[in-house]
């Protein structure tokens, strides 16, 4: 496969610490340029990773005729703006999550995709990790019975006043930063969309962001998913899937490193304290590398993207419904 030539728009931590190193090792991918509003930062990143070109503005990288696709790791409020600019410049777009701040924004991005014919995908990297394929196979096999409930927890501590996560004006907060993950897990496992949600949030008195949000998502047939996300609680990443025969526990559902052996724990509940539990291990995998490879392969082949914008629109509808519920104190329709 001819290499898809990428430019990186921004030098965010997720880009330089996780995504770029993985893209450099990905098949069918070539990172040829990186841009920052600070040329020195762009040059430093280019030198660190052996990237050939560095630009001191995002417009310059969009004007580079050799770049076919861009990866956007900018703050949340800039995602749609620069994704549209990139698509209108003829570039395909892989953009960090959440893809937008509201349904209206994301709808404009879908219109742009349809108008320009460019491929645009949200970088929900967990969709590329094989542990989720294993989960889908287990659920489809009927081994755990009918899945009726899912619990997702994603918490961490971030008290940095300079962090974009702690800036409410640019889409910060626990729900936008972390909520995508347990929402995606529930939608993927149920293979359905929630109908209603109820949520509560606790706001940080200094930052103004939601530092803790909890929600209940009601799916068709009485199925339920609950989530807890926080930027000021001890680190915890966990997903529990409850079936009528067995439960499943994922110990690192969202951020396994490329050398992690992910553990899927199945328990039939026949003994207390999970004494009868069975642990299945999934071979290490680099979800960021797989994400880049699958996105690039879809560009070359013309096949459907691993994640289409319509799926991301479903996420956005849930996020916005959770926000409305937390603000109004009511159940909200998705």
- Active-site position among 18, 91, 97, 317: 97
Task: Please report the sign of the dihedral spanned by the C-alpha atoms of residue 282, residue 288, residue 289, residue 292.
Answer: positive
The answer to whether residue 162 is catalytic is no
Contact 103, 320 (CB under 8 A): yes
The answer to whether 228 and 153 have CB atoms below 8 angstroms apart is: yes
Contact partners, residue 123, CB within 8 Å, separation at least 6:
19, 71, 94, 95, 96, 97, 291
Grouping H, G, I as helix, E, B as strand and the rest as coil, residue 46 is helix
Distance CA 17, CA 49 (A): 11
Instruction: State the sign of the Cα–Cα–Cα–Cα dihedral 289, 293, 299, 305.
Output: negative
DSSP E strands: which ranges in 105-146?
120-122
DSSP code for 279: E
What is the spatial distance between Cα 213 and Cα 257, in angstroms, rounded to a whole number? 26
Whole-angstrom Cα distance, residue 261 to residue 259?
Answer: 7
Q: CA separation (Å) from 256 to 21, 36, 107, 261, 321?
A: 15, 28, 31, 8, 29
The three-class DSSP label of residue 272 is helix
Instruction: Give the whole-angstrom CA distance, residue 314 versus residue 311.
Output: 5
For the record, the structure tokens of 130 come out as 């094989």
List residues with catalytic annotation: 97
């Amino acid at each position: 496969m001819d290499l898809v030539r990428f430019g990186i728009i921004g030098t965010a931590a997720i880009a330089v610490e996780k995504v770029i190193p993985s893209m450099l090792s990905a098949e069918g991918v070539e990172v040829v340029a990186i841009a920052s509003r600070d040329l020195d930062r762009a040059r430093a990143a280019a030198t660190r990773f052996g990237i050939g070109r560095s630009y001191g503005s995002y417009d310059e990288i969009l004007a580079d005729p050799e770049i076919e696709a861009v990866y956007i790791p900018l703050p949340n409020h800039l995602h749609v703006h620069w994704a549209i600019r990139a698509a209108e410049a003829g570039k395909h777009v892989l953009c960090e999550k959440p893809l937008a701040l509201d349904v209206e924004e994301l709808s404009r991005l879908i219109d742009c995709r349809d108008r320009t014919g460019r491929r645009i995908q949200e970088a929900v990297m967990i969709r590329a990790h094989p542990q989720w394929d294993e989960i889908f196979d287990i659920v489809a096999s009927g081994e755990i019975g009918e899945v009726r409930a899912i619990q997702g927890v994603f918490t961490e501590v971030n008290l940095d006043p300079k962090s974009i996560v702690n800036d409410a004006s640019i889409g910060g907060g626990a729900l936008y930063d972390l909520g995508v993950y347990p929402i995606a897990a529930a939608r993927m496992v149920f293979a359905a969309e929630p109908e209603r949600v109820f949520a509560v949030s606790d706001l940080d008195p200094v930052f103004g962001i939601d530092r803790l949000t909890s929600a209940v998502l009601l799916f068709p047939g009485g199925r339920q998913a609950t989530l807890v996300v926080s930027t000021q609680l001890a680190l915890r990443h966990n997903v529990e899937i409850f079936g009528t025969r067995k439960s499943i526990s994922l110990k690192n559902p969202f951020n396994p490193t490329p050398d992690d052996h992910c553990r899927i724990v199945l328990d039939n509940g026949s003994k207390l304290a999970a004494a009868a539990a069975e642990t299945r291990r999934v071979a290490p995998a680099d979800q960021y590398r797989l994400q880049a490879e699958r996105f690039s392969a879809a560009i070359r082949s013309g096949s459907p993207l691993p994640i289409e914008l319509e799926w991301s629109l479903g996420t956005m509808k849930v996020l916005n419904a959770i926000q409305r519920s937390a603000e109004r104190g009511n159940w909200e329709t998705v």
